[in-house]
Amino acid sequence: MGVMPLPKFTTLYLHFDAHKVNMIAEDSSPSIGELGRLHFTKTEVRQIEKENKKMAFQTVDVSALPVREFGRKATEPKLGVGENGQVAFNVLVQKAWTGINRVIILFDPEAKKLAFRPAKDGAALPKGVVEGKNLLALNWGKSKKDGKLDGSLSLKSGSALMTQMGYKFKDAGNQSFSLVHDAKSDTFIWQIPAETPAKRPVAPRKPRTPKVIAATAPNGAVASANVAPPAEEELLDIS
């Protein structure tokens, strides 16, 4: 029985990694098993996949991304009348009336329209407008950010004005109305509804656990304070 000698090969041997060429000495030639292997080990497969993965970064056009805004954004001037007769204006009116502390009240009884025209401090009043008779003061609330008087805007004696105009705010509840802006005179015009609006349906509010705010006591202990949710009458939507 003849014995087949172990074959000898040239010293050039290509490793499975395409980036490497290994020179194998004659005395350490690969075995028949190594040369006849037709599969890769898991480690070799992971290495090959890693080498084949190429990073192809591309610039992103951020101007085409949709802009997400939190909360509601005012799109038109509005007037809100609360159940207690408070008359408030939304942020678009606030921006238009920055620095204004009084408004001239104009009324068209036939068209049932009420107009609010700003009166600048120190400026001459229009003909026919009498100080103390045709003007009402504005209430500016302090901003939470910087404490300036630009946080909210309401009308002094709003309930008395609504009563005089015949608007039944107690029956209507909290309501908001669109205003028409006359840019030339910077006047905002409100169309008084012919009939008292029905109260908005109010979903029953489930009692919720007051938010607990942790505070540090003088002795270093942590104390907590309960913050109650706002009452319904405090909420007036004029956005």
**pLDDT tens-digit series, residues 20-53:** 555 555 555 555 555 555 566 778 777 777 776 6
Q: How far is the C-alpha of 157 from the C-alpha of 102, rounded, in Å?
A: 12
Q: How far is the C-alpha of 225 from the C-alpha of 8, rounded, in Å?
A: 87
Write down how long the chain is.
Answer: 239
Position 132 scores a pLDDT of 79
Mean of pLDDT over the chain? 76
List, as one string, the DSSP characters of 46-85.
HHHHHHH---------GGGSPPP--S----S-EEEE-TT-
Q: What percent of the chain has pLDDT over 70?
A: 57
Interval 55-112: pLDDT, tens = 666 776 766 655 554 446 778 999 999 999 999 999 999 999 988 999 999 999 999 9
Lowest mean per-residue pLDDT among 38-42, 108-112, 182-186, 198-202? 38-42
Q: Calculate mean pLDDT across residues 215-230.
A: 57
The two structure tokens encoding residue 109: 């009884």
Position 126 scores a pLDDT of 86
Position 57 scores a pLDDT of 65
Q: How far is the C-alpha of 51 from the C-alpha of 55, rounded, in Å?
A: 11
Is residue 193 within 8 A of residue 116, CB to CB? The reply is no
Higher-confidence position of 151 and 199: 199
Residue 21 CA, chain-centre distance (Å), reads: 60
Q: How far is the C-alpha of 163 from the C-alpha of 169, rounded, in Å?
A: 8
Lowest mean per-residue pLDDT among 3-7, 87-91, 112-116? 3-7
Q: Sorting pLDDT into bands at 50, 70 and 90, what band is 154?
A: very high
Q: Sorting pLDDT into bands at 50, 70 and 90, what band is 226?
A: low
Position 70 scores a pLDDT of 47
| Helices of type H across the chain | 32-35, 42-52, 91-96, 158-165, 169-172
